[in-house]
A and B are shown apart, each in its own frame.
Chain A
Amino acid sequence: MASLISCPHCGVRPKEEFSIRGDATPVRPAPMASDEAWNDYVHVRANPRGRIREHWQHVAGCRRWLVVERDNFTHEVFSVTDAAAARGGAR
């Protein structure tokens, strides 16, 4: 169930501890990319049904940004990873 999220740092937590920012799939364009590319990145979002990747922040816990892969129809959670780790960052 999506109401329980397994934070990689804190363990299983209720969704009330998190704040959801939105789609984690768009990739930030280069600073001098075209206006169309920036417009797509900032404003244009698909609204798919099924398996999605989202940025969640564990505001009431470790305060880390996480990438949650879940199904918005069945509420099944497939994976929760630290956003920095997903990018190959430190820690």
Chain B
Amino acid sequence: MAYDYQAVHVLDGTIGAVPGQRANHLAVHRATAIAVVLAAPGHGAEAAGILVADGAFEARFCGPGEWLVLSEVHAPETLVAELAIRLGAFAFVVDQSHGRVALTLSGPDAARILANGIAVDLHPEAFAVGRAATMLCNHLSVNLARTGIDRFDLVVMRSFAEALVADLKVMARSHDLSVDFATR
């Protein structure tokens, strides 16, 4: 029997898009290659070195010896294999491309909007560009990465994506925010 599989994004039909490109924009990425890398005991430094050295990977800290690795270069289907080849016995790799959803919040009020739900100091001196950490946004655990002064990436578990987008809309109520899928 033949099955016709369709790739449907978890937020398809439920995103409640606020169209246009306003001052602040929340972009939901349709297909992001995401994997979790956990360093083998005692090999944290080696694994980190390999991840940092390869420009195709974007490693985001989520715990000691643990990173969320995103990639614009590799496809969701191949990221785990690419990582496993390079990391060898230094780390364990698990695919999260379908388990997590990546969003990008950008605009002059991005940090202010996030501050309405996140109790971590997001001043550029306290949370510099390039830093990432897992933190609580209202009731959801979110991996937040600062990719620019006014630009943040959020990675959330797939089943919480709808709640997070709804939360972000509420957090941005007094700011000008548009919400839509990213076009790439």
B88 within 8 A of A: no
Size of the chain A interface, CB-CB below 8 angstroms: 17
Contact indicator A82/B133 (Cβ below 8 Å): no
Contact indicator A13/B63 (Cβ below 8 Å): no
A57 to chain B, nearest CB (A): 12
A14 within 8 A of B: yes
Contact indicator B42/A60 (Cβ below 8 Å): no
Tell which of B21-29, B50-58, B134-142 binds the partner: B134-142
Contact residues in B for A14 (Cβ distance below 8 Å): 119, 136
Q: Identify which of A60, A63, A64, A90 contacts B135 (C-beta below 8 A).
A: A60
Contact residues in B for A64 (Cβ distance below 8 Å): 63-64
A45 within 8 A of B: no
Contact residues in B for A12 (Cβ distance below 8 Å): 120-121
A71 to chain B, nearest CB (A): 22
Task: Classify chain B's interface size.
Answer: 10 to 19
Contact residues in A for B62 (Cβ distance below 8 Å): 62
Measured in the bound complex, the distance between the Cα atoms of B120 and A12 in whole Å is: 7
Contact indicator B42/A90 (Cβ below 8 Å): yes
A40 within 8 A of B: no
B163 to chain A, nearest CB (A): 14
* 1/0 contact string of B119-148 vs chain A (CB within 8 Å): 111000000000001111000010000000
Q: Identify which of A13, A17, A62 contacts B66 (C-beta below 8 A).
A: A62
> Which positions 30-46 of chain B face chain A at CB distance < 8 Å?
41-42, 44
B107 within 8 A of A: no
Q: Identify which of B63, B64, B65, B135 contacts A17 (C-beta below 8 A).
A: B135
Q: Identify which of B42, B64, B120 contacts A11 (C-beta below 8 A).
A: B120
B135 to chain A, nearest CB (A): 6
Contact residues in B for A60 (Cβ distance below 8 Å): 134-136, 141
Contact residues in A for B66 (Cβ distance below 8 Å): 62
A28 within 8 A of B: no
Measured in the bound complex, the distance between the Cα atoms of B66 and A59 in whole Å is: 14
Residues in B lying within 8 Å of A, measured CB to CB? 41-42, 44, 62-66, 119-121, 133-136, 141
Q: A9-B64, A60-B135, A61-B133 are in contact. List 14 more A-B contacts (CB 8 A).
A: A11-B133, A12-B120, A12-B121, A13-B136, A14-B119, A16-B136, A17-B135, A59-B141, A60-B134, A60-B136, A62-B62, A62-B134, A63-B63, A91-B65
